[in-house]
Structure 1
Amino acid sequence: MTKKLDPITLDLIENALLNARFEMDSVVTRVALSPVIREQHDEFPMICNPAGQMVVGQFGSYIPEIVEQYKNNINEGDIFVWNDPYACKGSISHNNDWCVMMPIFHEGHHVGYSSIFGHMVDTGGKVPGSMPADAYTIWEEGLRVPPVKIYEDGKLNEGVLQIMLNNSRTPDMNRADLMALIAGCRTAAKRVQEICDRFGRDSYLTACDELMSRTREAMRVLISKYIPEEPVTFTDYVDDDGVGNGPFKLHLSIYKKGEVAVIDWTGTDDQAEGPINFHIHEGLCKLFFGVYMIMAFDPKIMFNEGFYDLFEIILPEGSLLNPKFPAALSNRLNTHTRFFDCQAGALGQQAPHLSMAAGYGTSPHFIFTGTDENGKYFQLMELLFGGVPGRPRDDGLDGHAWWPLFSATPIEYIENYYPVIVERYRPVQDAGGAGLHRGGAGIEKVYRVLASGSISIHDDREVVPPWGINGGLHGGTSSKWVVRAGKDEPERIPSKTDSVKVEPGDRIIFITAGSGGWGDPLERPVEKVLKDVRDGLVSRQKAECDYGVLIGEDLTVDENGTEALRKSQRKERGEPAPFDFGFIPGVHEAAE
C-alpha cells in the first residue's frame, strides 16, 4: 500500500468523495416519490472505508454492527436493508428510517461501503405516519425489519420487499423511496470505483486513512483548547412524552481526561413511558459532539469518524438516551434536538464567543390522511421548521431547519397533490429571543383541509422556552389550534396528538417555537431593531421593553428617548445573565 500521498492527490480524492456524497443526494431526491424525501430531503448518505468508518457523509457509526452480524457473508452484489433501531444498536433511531447499505468492491477487492437512510412516510403501526404520540412500546410503531439482504448476488429478494411494502399504508411511495436509496448507494459505489481506477486502489485506501487521521489531529487540538479538565454541566428539558408525563430532564457533563473528552449523561431522567426515548448509538453520540465542535470552533475541518477514540461516552442504561427494549421511540426527535441544545449550553460556557443559543427544539410534523373525492387514500406528511438560534456572527434564521440540506415542501406541491389549501405561511412576530443577535423566529402555517380525514401533530417547546445565551433572552414557544368550519373561535390542541378528526373547511394553525437570542439586546444596533419592526418580526412593544428602543407609530426612532431608556435599563438590570431560560412550569415551580 502507498505509504503517503502527496497533498494534491489527497485533495483530489477528498473532493471526489465529497462530490460523490452530494451526487448521492441528487440521485435520491430525483428518484424518490414521497414529499418527505423528494422535496424535503430527509435522507442521510455516507461513504465508508473497508472497516465501515464514515469517511464522508452526515451520520456514521452503524456499519460495524451490521458487518458483525453477517461476518464473512458479505459479497459483491449484496445490498442490505433494515429499520429496527434495537437490532442495529440505535444507529437509526425509529422505525420510519429505512437504512440501505452496500459493500463496494473494486476488481474483486473490498474497498468500503456506501449507505443511506431515509424517512418513510408510513411503515404501519397504529396510526397513519407510524409515529403515534401515545405509544407505550415499539410494537405499536410499525413493522421492524432486522438487517437483511434486499439484494443477494445482484438479485432482488422479492419476499423481503413484499413484506416491507405489505405493512405500509403507502406502499408505492415506500417502494420508490427505497429504490431511490439503493440507487444512491450504487451511484457512490460507481464513483469510488472510478476513483480507484484513476488513482489506484492503494492510493484510494491510503487517502481514506489520511483523511481520517487529519480529522483526528484537528479534533485533538479542539479538545485540548475547548474542553476543560473540570466538568462543565448543563440541563435542559423536553416538554412531555405525549402520554401525560413531563417535563423530562437531560443533564450533561463534559470534561477532559488526558486527550479524551468525556461526555457524561448521568443525571438524565429515566426512559419515558411515551415515545420520546432516543436510543442513541455510542458512535453516533461521538459524531454529534465532533460535528458540533467542528462547526462551532473550526468549520474548515472535514468531519468523519477519525476522532472517535478521542471521545468517551457515558449513557446510563434505562435513561431517556439509552432506553431498554421495548421502549417506544417514534418521536425521539424531541429528545434528539434537546441533546443538541445541551451540547451548545455546555460547550458554550468554555467559549462564549463561539456559542449559540437554543433553537425550536424538535422536528415538528403535520400529517393529514383521508380519502379524496375519487375514493383514493392520501397521506400528507410535512416537516415544519422554526427558529434557528442567535449565533456569534449574526442573527438566527427564521423558519429554518436544523438539518443543513432540509427544505420546506413547496406550497404548490402540497396543493397540487393533496386536498389542502395553505392559507398562510409567515414568521411569528416576537418569537425570536432578543439579543445583540436576535434569535430566529418560528413560523405560523395555516392549512385549510378540503376533505374529511384526520390529522396528527407532533411538536415540542410548547412549555419549555428556547433559552438565550450571553445576555440574550429566551424565544417564543409553540402552539397548535383548530378552527372549525363556520366558527371563529380556535380550539387549542396538544403539541403531540393523533387522530384529530377534521372536515372540509376546517383550518389547522401550526405555530412552531422561535429560538433564543445571543448577546446583550441593549447592544443591538438601533437600525437593526427598527428594520425588524418594519419587517414585522418584532413589535414596537418588544422593541421598547427588550431592546430599549422607542419607535413611534410612524415607525421612526426617538433617538434621545432611546438613549435615555437604554441607560436606565442597563442600570436597573445590571450585568446580563449568561443564560435566560424563561419560566418552565413543573421545574421552576418545584424549585420554589
Structure 2
Amino acid sequence: MTRTVDPITLDLIENALLNARFEMDSVVVRIALSPVIREQHDEFPMICNAKGQMVVGQFGSYIPGIVEQYGDDIHEGDVFVWNDPYACKGSISHNNDWCVMLPIFHEGVHVGFSSIFGHMVDVGGKVPGSMPADSRTIWEEGLRIPPVKIYQKGTLNEGVLDIMLNNSRTPDMNRADLMALIAGCRTAAKRVTEICDRFGRDTYVAACDMLLDRTREAMRILINKYIAEEPVTFTDYVDDDGLGNGPFKMHLSIYRRGDVAVIDWTGTDDQAEGPINFHIHEGLCKLFFGVYMIMAFDPKIMFNEGFYDLFEIILPEGSLLNPRFPAALSNRLNTHTRFFDCQAGALGQKAPHLSMAAGYGTSPHFIFTGHDKNDKYFQLMELLFGGVPGRPLGDGFDGHAWWPLFSATPIEYIENYYPVLVESYRPVKDAGGAGLHRGGAGIEKTYRLLEPGTISIHDDRETVPPWGINGGLHGGTSSKWLQRAGSDTPERIKSKLDNLPVEPGDKVIFITAGSGGWGDPLDRPVDAVLRDVRHQIVSREKAERDYGVVIDENHQVDKAATDALRQRMKDERGAPEPFDFGFIPGVHEAAE
C-alpha cells in the first residue's frame, strides 16, 4: 500500500531537504582550498532516494549507473569517488570533475544517497589545469578514475587517495577539495537521518516519492501546453575545436508524442577532433530540458527527476553530444552551453514571450602557472563570466555566470595568493545585444603578471555571435589580447591556447562575449537607453543606430529627433525578425 503524506508535512520535508542541499554547499566552500570551489562555487550537490533518483539538487542523478556496477556491495560508511566520463556513462563530462557519492542509512535501512561533484584545478595531463586546448584524445587530459571506494565501511583507502593526489600538480588543494566534497555528503546524510527521526522513515520515503510525482504532473502539463506535435527545429554553432576545425553545427528538433517530449539531436555535427565534445548522460539531457522549461514557464515547480519518463532523448552516436571513446572532452563547455542556446531557440518558437536570447556561450577560463621568487610553484585558475541573455522579465545580467550560485573570484583573493595584479574589471561597452530588454554585457578583465610563467586560455563565441530573439539583436563577441611589457600595442591571441610564455609586466586583456537582446529595441524606453549610455554600457552611436535614440554630447535626449528616427526606422525595417544571428563565418560564406 502506498503511504500518503499530508500537505503540511510534505512541505516541511521538502524545505528540510532543500535546506540540507544548501548546507552541503556551505560546508564544501568552508573546507575547500582551491579558488574554483572555495571562491567560485564550482560544485554541484544533490540528495537522492534509495533508487538513486534526485529529489533535490542541480545536475541530476548519475547514481543508478554506479549502483549497477556494485550491486549489493554498498554498505554504510562507504564513499565512492570517480571522474572518468566514459566509465560513468557521461554523468561526469570531463576529468577535472571529481564526483563523490555515499549511501544514506537510517537505523541500518538504506534510504538514499548524497552526492557532489566539483572541479579540481589540476588532475594531471599534458598541461597545467588539465584542459588542453589541442588534445585529440582523453588520454592527454589527466588521470581517469573509474568508480571506486575511497572509504570502505568508514575506513579510508589510502592507496586510492595516494594515486589520485600523485597525479596532480596541486595535490594539497585537491586533497582539501575532495575532503570538502565528502564532508558535504556526510552533512546531507546526517540531515536526512534527522528528518527520518522526526517524521518517521516510512513518511520520509513516501514524501520523496510524492515530491517526484508532483513534479512529474507539473511537467506533463507544461509539455502539453508548450511543445507541439509538429517538430520545431533550431541550429546554432560552436566556433571551433581548438585545432582549427569549425564551426560545428548543433541541430535540435523538439516535438511531442502524447505526453512525451522527444528531444532529437539528429543533424548535429560529428564529434570533433579537438576537446569540445560533450559526452552527455541521457538523464542529464532530460534534466536540462526539464529545468529550462520550469525556469522559463513555471519557476515555482521544484525540479527533480520525477519527470524523466516524460522525455525521450535521441543522441546520435559519434556526434558532438555522444562521442566515441577515446574522444577528447576537456573543453566540452562550449558545446554544453550551446546546448542551452539551442533549447531556448527551439522552445521559444512556440512561446516567444517566455523564452530568452543566446548568452556568452561557454565557461571561459584563464590559467597562469610558474614559479615565484622562492621557487614555489603557483597555478592560478579562474573562471570568467559574460553576458547573460535578455529575457521576458528584463535585461540580461552583465558579466554573470550561467550557473546561478557561481560567483567571481574576489580580486583581493587573486592578488593576495598569486603574482598577479588585476588592473581593470568592467563591462564591455556595446556587447549587450539591443532589445526591448538589453542583452547582458561581457566583461573585460586586465591581468598584469608579476612573475615569468605560461598562460592558457579557453573561450568561445569569438566568431559566432550570440543571437537575439523576438526582434532583439545579436550581442558582441569575445577577444583576447596580450600586451608585452614596454609595448603600447596589444596583440590579439587565440581564444583557445596553451602554455604561452609570459614575462613580468606583461598584460593579458580577457574580453568575454555579450549576449543577445530580447524584443524590439525600437520599443525600449528612452530613459533606459539613456541610463545605459550614462553608465557606459551603450555608446551614443549604438543608441542611435540600434535603438533610434538621439543623445547629445551632454547626455540629453533629443525627443523630437528620437521620435522621428524611430518611426522612420520602423517604416524601413517592417516587422522585426524572430531571430538575429549576426554574421557567422564559415556558415554564411558557404550559403552565399
TM-score (norm 2): 1.00
Tell me the equivalent position of 1:141.
141
CA contact (8 A) 1:2 1:202 kept: no
**Are residue 297 (structure 1) and residue 297 (structure 2) matched?**
yes
| Aligned residue in 2 for 1:130 | 130
Other structure's SS at 1:385 match: coil
Cα separation, 1, equivalents of 2:442 and 2:272:
27
Which residue pairs with 2:583 in the alignment? 583
Does the 8 A contact of 2:389 with 2:395 survive in 1? yes
**Which ranges in structure 1 are unaligned for 5 or more consecutive residues?**
none
The aligned amino acid for 1:397 is F
Residue 392 of structure 2 aligns with which residue? 392
SS of alignment partner, residue 308 of structure 2: helix
Deviations 1:482-517 (A, max 9, x none): 000000111111001000100000000000000000
Name the aligned partner's letter for residue 434 of structure 1: A
Which residues in structure 2 correspond to 1:279-358 (within 5 Å)?
Answer: 279-358=279-358
* SS of alignment partner, residue 373 of structure 2: coil
Name the structure 2 match of 1:527: 527
Deviation at 1:545, TM superposition (A): 0.4
**What's the secondary structure of 1:393's corresponding residue?**
coil
CA contact (8 A) 1:473 1:580 kept: yes
Equivalent residue for 1:453?
A: 453
Instruction: For residue 130 of structure 2, give the secondary structure of its aligned residue in structure 1.
Output: coil
2:237 maps to 1:237: yes
In 2, distance between residues paired with 1:185 and 1:431? 40
Moved over 4 A (4+): none
Alignment check: 8 A CA contact 2:479 2:495 kept: yes
Which amino acid is 1:125 matched to? G
1:564 & 1:10 partners in 2: Cα distance?
59
| Equivalence for 1:434 | 434
Q: CA separation in 2, counterparts of 1:403 and 1:61?
A: 18
Deviations 1:80-132 (A, max 9, x none): 00000000000010000000000000000000000000000000000000000
Q: Is the CA contact (8 Å cut-off) linking 1:415 and 1:421 kept in structure 2?
A: yes
Identity of aligned residues (%): 84
CA distance in 2: counterparts of 1:159 and 1:324, whole angstroms: 31
Paired residue secondary structure (2:140): helix
Quote the Cα distance in structure 2 between the aligned partners of 1:109 and 1:253: 44
Partner SS for 1:445: strand
- Determine the C-alpha separation between the residues in 1 that align with 2:6 and 2:182: 34
Contact 1:269/1:320, CA 8 A, preserved across alignment: yes
Q: CA deviation at 1:2?
A: 6.3
Find the counterpart in structure 2 of residue 163 from structure 1.
163
2:77 paired residue number: 77
The 8 Å contact of residues 61 and 281 in structure 1, kept in 2 or not, is answered as: no
Query: Is the partner of 1:81 in helix, strand or coil?
Result: strand
Distance 1:394 1:373 in 2: 49
Partner residue, 2:495? 495
Q: Is the 8 A contact 2:250 2:265 kept in 1?
A: yes
**Aligned partner of residue 454 in structure 2, secondary structure:** strand
Residues of 1 paired with 2:259 and 2:167: CA distance? 48
Q: Once the two structures are superposed, what CA deviation does each residue of 1:343-368 show, in whole Å capped at 9, x if it has no partner?
A: 00000001000010000000000000
Q: CA deviation at 1:4?
A: 0.5
What corresponds to 1:20 in structure 2? 20
1-structure distance, mates of 2:491, 2:90: 38
CA distance in 1, matches of 2:73, 2:250: 40
Bigger shift: 139-148 or 52-61? 52-61
The 5 Å alignment of 1:81-92 reads 81-92=81-92
Structure 1 position 374, deviation (Å)? 1.1
Give secondary structure in 1 for the equivalent of 2:349. Answer: helix
Distance 1:566 1:59 in 2: 45
Task: Quote the residue 1:574 is aligned against.
Answer: 574
**DSSP-derived class of the 2:87 partner:** helix
Give the C-alpha shift of residue 3 in structure 1: 1.5
Secondary structure of 1:36's aligned partner:
helix
The residue type paired with residue 489 of structure 1 is T
2:474 and 2:580 in contact (8 A); partners too: yes
Amino acid at match of 2:526: V
Q: Which residue of 2 aligns with 1:31?
A: 31
Distance 1:355 1:47 in 2: 29
Deviations 1:564-590 (A, max 9, x none): 000100011110000000000000000
Alpha-carbon distance in structure 2 between the residues aligned to 1:569 and 1:304: 46
Query: Within 5 A, what are the aligned runs for 1:96-135?
Result: 96-135=96-135
Post-superposition offset of 1:37: 0.1
Q: Distance in 2 between matches of 1:438 and 1:260?
A: 34
Distance 2:250 2:530 in 1: 38
| Structure 2 residue aligned with 1:274 | 274
Instruction: Supply the distance in 2 between the matched residues of 1:538 and 1:330 (Cα, whole angstroms).
Output: 35
In the alignment, is the contact (CA less than 8 A) between 1:2 and 1:203 conserved in 2? no
Q: Which amino acid aligns with 2:120?
A: M
* In structure 2, distance between residues paired with 1:493 and 1:158: 43
CA shift for structure 1 position 61: 2.8
Q: Does 1:563 align with 2:563?
A: yes
Work out whether residues 82 and 98 of structure 2, in 8 Å CA contact, stay in contact via their aligned partners in 1: yes
SS in 2 for 1:316: coil
Unpaired segments ≥5 residues, structure 2:
none
Q: How many residues align?
A: 592
Measured in 1, the distance between the counterparts of 2:558 and 2:153 equals 75
SS state at 1:240 partner: coil
Query: Is the contact between residue 48 and residue 61 of structure 2 (CA under 8 Å) also seen in structure 1?
Result: no
Paired position in structure 2 for 1:194: 194
- Counterpart CA distance in 1 for 2:471 and 2:63 is 43
Verify the 8 A CA contact 2:484 2:490 in the aligned structure 1. yes
Hey, what's the Cα distance between the residues in 2 that align with 1:454 and 1:97?
23
Hey, what's the Cα distance between the residues in 2 that align with 1:60 and 1:111? 18
CA contact (8 A) 1:364 1:385 kept: yes
TM-superposed CA distance for 1:207, in Å, is: 0.3
Residue identity in the other structure for 2:128: P
- How far the C-alpha of 1:60 sits from its partner, in A, is 1.3
Cα distance in 2 for partners of 1:291, 1:382 equals 27
- 1 CA distance for matches of 2:244 and 2:394? 38
2:405 pairs with 1:402: no
Matches within 5 A, 1:195-210: 195-210=195-210
Give me the whole-angstrom Cα distance separating, in 1, the residues matched to 2:103 and 2:276. 33
Deviations 1:271-323 (Å, cap 9, x if unpaired)?
00000000000000000000000000000000000000000000000000000
**Quick one: which amino acid aligns to residue 217 of structure 1?**
E
- Residue identity in the other structure for 2:524: R
Q: What letter is aligned with 1:74?
A: I
- The DSSP-based 3-state class of the residue aligned with 2:403 is coil
Letter in 2 for 1:573: R
- Structure-1 separation of matches of 2:527 and 2:473: 19
Cα 1:450–1:154, aligned 2, differ >3 Å: closer, same or farther?
same
Mapped to 2, the partners of 1:420 and 1:266 lie a distance apart of: 46
Map 1:29-68 → 2, pairs under 5 A: 29-68=29-68
Q: TM-score, normalised by structure 1?
A: 1.00
For residue 79 of structure 1, what is the amino acid of its counterpart? V
Q: Is the 8 A contact 1:483 1:489 kept in 2?
A: yes
| Inter-partner Cα distance in structure 2 for 1:30 and 1:371 | 27
What is the CA–CA distance in structure 1 between the aligned matches of 2:516 and 2:480, rounded to whole Å? Answer: 20
Is residue 254–residue 264 contact of structure 2 (8 Å, CA) maintained in 1? yes
1:132-160 Cα distance to aligned partner (Å, 9 max, x none): 00000000000000000000010000000
Instruction: Give the superposition deviation at 1:232.
Output: 0.2
In the TM superposition, what is the alpha-carbon distance from 1:373 to its structure 2 partner?
Answer: 1.1
Does structure 2 retain, via aligned residues, the 8 Å contact 1:334–1:362? yes
Distance 2:587 2:71 in 1: 49
Q: Which amino acid aligns with 2:211?
A: L
Alpha-carbon distance in structure 2 between the residues aligned to 1:587 and 1:228: 29
Partner of 2:483: 483
